[in-house]
Amino acid sequence: MNISSPDFVQGGPMPQRCTADGDNVSPALSWGSIPATARELVLVCEDSDAPLPKPFVHWIVYRIPPTTTELPAGLPETWAVVEGAGMKPGMKQGVNGKRRCAYDGPSPPIGHGVHHYHFQLFALRKPLELANPPDRNELYSLLHDDIVAFGETIGTYERAR
């Protein structure tokens, strides 16, 4: 699978509006080459450079229909994503590292250098069975055996001193 953003080039800096120093809006993303066997897509954005034992989760979106090929910029800050503006009913947001069901943009420690934000798209062979919004640990424990394809794009951000 492929995934990209019109807001930043692969491996390049993310615009300030998509960070905690700007408007904190989620970037637009698009993807393709979804396998015919996919029944659900899951998007996770993690900071691999966070000074923590595990990557810091900035965003989880699940229950994305496999026919969906993009997310517009500025996904609403709600658990259940409402239909409209290119959104499909049923899409949900999981619990990020700040314990919110929303996108929280890059905000690395000042002076910590460039951080890498991995936007990972998973195609699953069966829909997730979840009663509540998952956090990273719960989500990854469920994904492992059902991934049929994976795609990733990386944006970077460094906070000014």
- pLDDT tens digits for range 55-102: 999 999 999 999 999 999 998 877 666 554 455 557 899 999 999 999
- Judge whether 9 lies within some domain: yes
d(CA 155, CA 161): 20
Q: Which ranges in 91-158 belong to alpha helices (H)?
A: 136-143
| Residue with token string 């069966």 | 126
φ, ψ dihedrals at 88, nearest 5°: -105, 145
In a domain, 119, yes or no: no
Query: CA gyration radius for the chain?
Result: 15
Alpha-carbon dihedral of residues 65, 61, 136, 156, nearest 10 degrees? 120
Q: What is the pLDDT of residues 5-19, one digit of tens each?
A: 999 999 999 999 999
Q: Is the residue at 91 inside a domain?
A: yes
Residues present in the chain in total: 161
What is d(CA 58, CA 46) in angstroms, rounded to the nearest whole number?
A: 6
Q: Write down the pLDDT at residue 82.
A: 53
User: Contact, 38 vs 117, CB < 8 A?
Assistant: no
- Residue 6 belongs to some domain of the structure: yes
Domain-located, residue 143: no
CA distance 94 to 99: 9
**pTM of the predicted model, to two decimals?**
0.93
Give the domain extent around 99.
Answer: 1-39+63-107
Q: Report the number of distinct structural domains present in the chain.
A: 1
pLDDT in tens, 101-117: 999 999 999 999 999 99
In a domain, 19, yes or no: yes
Domain assignment of residue 17, yes or no: yes
CATH code: domain of residue 81: 3.90.280.10
Residue 142 lies in a domain: no
